[in-house]
Amino acid sequence: MKRRQWLRLLFNLAGVKAKIMGIALALVFLLASCLIWQAQAIYAGTMRANLISGGYSLAAYVAARSEGLILTANIYALHELIADAKKNNEDLRYVFVTDARGRLLVDTFADGLPKGLLSFNPWSPGQPYSLRTFRSEEGIIHDIAYPILEGDGGVLHLGLSEARLDHAVASLKRRLWLITLLVSALGVSMAYALANMLTRPLQELVLATEKIAGGELHWRVPLDWLRDEFGRLGAAFNSMLDSLQQADAEKQRLAEVRTHLLQKVITAQEEERKRVARELHDQTAQALTTLNLGLSSLATGSESEEAARRIAALKATAYRAMEEIKALSYRLRPSALDDLGLGAAVERYVQDCSRQWGKEIGWHISGLDGRLPGEIEIIAYRIIQEALNNAARHARAENISVVLEKREDQLLAIIEDDGIGFEVERTVEAGPDAALGLAGMQERAELVGGTLQIESAPGAGTTVYLRVPLA
């Protein structure tokens, strides 16, 4: 398992281009090594066969010329013969002749015959010759024993060295490796060109993917010049981009239509709230005030205690109704928001909620000395209003705080409570019925280019962050 992981790690260290070049270079060297080994074996075998074949011919020639010299016991001429043979043959390392009884007659060794060489390769009657091989300090030596006068005149021994053969094989190997290096350089160059051709479409596709990830759906892959699989892949990729661009354009159009309609709905809703609040204040509240005055007149003219008590009860009911209508009118459209701005409206709303719910709500408002655009003020107010209502009605919070600040080119609102909390993702995924208030807050924030972030967890309370750009 570890070996596989190491192989994957090593494989992933290089890019596609390096991998292609590495594979090409490895194949060239592998093929060259096999060819060089095979050529070396064939060349060495051929030269060795030629060496031994030449040795047989030389042994037969020297043995034929030795016959008369041995019969006449001309040892000096025999010595000159084998010395000339050694001198005229580069591969011949030694020559010696033994008589029929195996005694040494002549040799070419200056310091005497090496020990054991005399009996190393004995010739047996009936054999045309005998061949044995041994390794010396110089290298491999082939000893050929060739009979003179079918053994009656003695045996001729030749020692053939492979030194010149080894030198020739080494020279051949160097030339072959030089050729291999040149071929490898050519192969690497071709592999580099091929790798560029293969990786260029991949690089174009990667670049296009990065551009698309960055939102540049107009980007296209310039692979029209290819007619292979990469060309077809590029065409399919561009076709996909066309579809994505059309879908994105349609999505943006629908989003703009939705935003426009949502804005009109919210504007109409605010206008309707404003109208209802004005009617409640101007008509219903005035009617209740008139009713209260009439009840006061009846109470003054009534002599019955029971009637006076009932009139007082009706007056109290009318007064409570009038106060509730005023509060409802303010919640529908706070006059402070229109007259004084967002900071004053939020401050008054927090104080009213604190008094109504019987809980101390902490608040901090800063940087809102001037007025903000009307659309931003009403949307920020409604989001704060919804967040406070959620904290009071659903979170069962003991401590609630509101922070509203204008920071340079941004409006920041933070509404925090220590209530029971909830799982935000699960609530959103549950559908619009479960997250209707959250969705409404999110939609309102998006209408003015703002962001709404809700952080909550069961038992950990809830924090709502509203950020609206002002620039």
- Half-sphere exposure (Cβ direction) of 238: Cα atoms closer than 13 Å: 13
Sign of CA pseudo-dihedral 110, 116, 120, 126:
positive
For the stretch 343-396, pLDDT in tens is: 888 888 888 888 888 888 888 888 887 788 888 888 888 888 888 888 877 777
DSSP-based three-state secondary structure for 131: strand
The whole-angstrom separation of Cα 259 and Cα 201 is 41
Report the mean per-residue pLDDT for the chain: 80
Is the domain of 358 the same as that of 328?
no
CA distance 411 to 342: 11
State the residue range of the domain holding 141.
Answer: 14-183
Q: Are 441 and 452 in contact (CB under 8 A)?
A: yes
Identify the weakest region by mean pLDDT among 18-27, 128-137, 445-454.
18-27
- Assess whether 357 and 305 both reside in one domain: no
Residue 296 has pLDDT above 70, yes or no: no
For 176-243, give the DSSP string. Answer: HHHHHHHHHHHHHHHHHHHHHHHHHHHHHHHHHHHHHHTT-TT-----TT--SHHHHHHHHHHHHHHH
Give residue 385's pLDDT.
85
Q: How far is CA 419 from the centre of its chain?
A: 43
φ, ψ at 258 (rounded to 5°):
-65, -45
Same-domain status, 159 and 135: yes
Q: What is the pLDDT of residue 256?
A: 73
Confirm if 249 and 278 have CB atoms less than 8 A apart.
no
Highest mean pLDDT among 281-285, 288-292, 467-471: 467-471
pLDDT at 77: 93
Q: Domain count of the chain?
A: 3
Of 307, 333, 359, at which residue does a domain stop?
333
pLDDT of residue 447: 81
Collapsing DSSP to helix, strand or coil, 278 comes out as: helix
Residue 294 has pLDDT above 90, yes or no: no
Mean pLDDT of 323-337: 63
- 297, 439: one domain: no
User: Is 174 a member of any domain?
Assistant: yes
Tokens of 73: 């016991």
Describe the strand order of the beta sheet including 361-366 as a list of residue ranges: 361-366, 400-407, 410-417, 462-469, 451-456
Residue 97 binned pLDDT confidence (cut-offs 50, 70, 90)? very high
Domain shared by 377 and 319, yes or no: no
Tell me whether residue 77 is in a domain.
yes
Q: Does 282 share its domain with 308?
A: yes
Asked whether residue 434 carries a pLDDT value surpassing 60, the answer given is: no
**What CATH number does the domain containing 351 carry?**
3.30.565.10
Measured CA to CA in angstroms, residue 238 lies from 68, 165, 229, 250 at distances of 98, 65, 14, 18
User: What is residue 150's three-state secondary structure?
Assistant: helix
140 pLDDT exceeds 60?
yes
